Structure 1
């Protein structure tokens, strides 16, 4: 299976300015993800998608020269990951280069255990899923079966649509949230307008090293983690 490793890194971060090239420990944030991707033996090609010249230069220095500069309209706060992935697929197919799937690796989740990308790809292939995402368990107190949504008249309803609450925590089904580290999706699913499709496989990440950097508080957490590595 031909799999594109895609690292999206726009330049317009507001929560942590220039975070993709900001030093975390002894190296820029983006280098952590480039290094993880380069460890993989199952990624066919690794590409950084960026709109920013400084990030492009940094990516080239760390062995991952971008083959294109992402259009500015795909680097706005409102731009979606799906649009970024579709753009990359379109670029390569215009060069008669085709991939069966895309592995999206976000630099904002810099800490991946050694071998986890290939483990995820192997599981993705084995399950024949439309998509595989890396996840972490949702704490029981935040389980969707115990969560509420506001109704139009200002009251509450159970978020899952059930009419009665599951009374015992032991009876709650497992629930997970995306940790932002790995998304693998079949190209045909992406072309049909989804990063997930209908059949979603998952791989649990190590919560000890989890961080998804969006704010300075997240960055400070990342600095504490990197000091333990």
Structure 2
């Protein structure tokens, strides 16, 4: 299976200006994701998609391929990730290069354990999933079966629509949230269903792994603390 590894990194970050190339330890942030992708044996090609000349320059300096400059129209705050992925696929298709799937690797989730990408790809292929996501368990206090929302009369109801609350933590079904580290999707799902997910979604559980998804300054501080504990990434 031919799989495109796509690292999206637009300019104009507001929460942490220049975060994609800001130095975390001794490396620009996006280098952590690139090194994880470079170590994969199952990604056919790894590229950067960016609109920003400074990000592109840093990427090229560390050896990350930048085959195109992303159009400004696809680099706004509200640009759907799906459009960014399809733009990359269409670029290569016009050059006669086609991929069976895309593995999206966001630089804002910099820490991936060794072998995680290939483990995820292997599960994606063997399960014949439309897509596969890396996920983490939701803590019990945030489990959807213990969440409430306001109803029309101003009182609370269970967000799941159930009539009775599950009283014991041990009886809660395991729930997961996306951690942002890995999204893999078949090209036919992206193109024909216009979806990053499709209907048959696989997952790989990263609950036990070090984790941060960088969006605000407090997240960056957490990343710096984690880095001091993770010699593999220094």
Residue in 1 aligned with 2:229? Answer: 228
Alignment of 1:119-158 (within 5 A): 119-158=119-158
Q: Which blocks of at least 5 consecutive residues in structure 1 are unaligned?
A: none
What corresponds to 2:166 in structure 1?
A: 166
| Change in CA separation of 1:39 and 1:206 when aligned onto 2, cut-off 3 Å | farther
**Aligned match of 2:195:** 194
Deviation at 1:157, TM superposition (A): 2.3
- Contact 2:40-2:118 within 8 A present in 1 as well: yes
Structure 2: any 5+ residue segments left out of the alignment? none
State how far apart, in whole Å, the 1-side matches of 2:149 and 2:68 are: 43
**1:195-227 Cα distance to aligned partner (Å, 9 max, x none):** 111111111115441000000000000001111
Q: Provide the secondary structure at the position in 1 that maps to 2:229.
A: coil
Instruction: Report matched runs for 1:65-214 at 5 Å.
Output: 65-191=65-191, 192-214=193-215
Q: How many residues align?
A: 229
User: Structure 1 length normalisation: TM-score?
Assistant: 0.97
Instruction: Check whether the contact 2:135–2:207 (CA below 8 A) recurs between aligned residues.
Output: no
List per-residue Cα deviations over 1:120-146 (Å, max 9, x = no partner). 000000111111100110001110011
Q: Which residue of structure 2 aligns with residue 45 of structure 1?
A: 45
Q: TM-score, normalised by structure 2?
A: 0.95
In the alignment, the residues of structure 2 paired with residue 193 and residue 149 of structure 1 have an alpha-carbon distance, to the nearest angstrom, of 31
* Change in CA separation of 1:208 and 1:41 when aligned onto 2, cut-off 3 Å: closer
RMSD over aligned Cα, in angstroms?
Answer: 1.1
Alpha-carbon offset, residue 39 of structure 1: 0.1
What secondary structure does 2:12 align onto? Answer: coil
Task: Tell me, yes or no, if the aligned pair for 2:113 and 2:209 is still in contact at 8 Å.
Answer: no
Q: CA deviation at 1:149?
A: 2.1
Query: Contact 1:129 / 1:200 at 8 angstroms: preserved in 2?
Result: yes
**What is the SS of the residue equivalent to 2:4?**
strand
SS at 2:123's partner residue? helix
Judge conservation of contact 1:56–1:65 (CA < 8 Å) in 2: no
The 10-residue stretch of structure 1 (161-170 or 19-28) with the greater mean CA deviation from structure 2: 161-170
Between the aligned partners of 2:66 and 2:88, the Cα distance in structure 1 is 11
Is the alpha carbon distance of 1:17 and 1:165 closer, same or farther for their aligned partners in structure 2, counting shifts above 3 Å? same
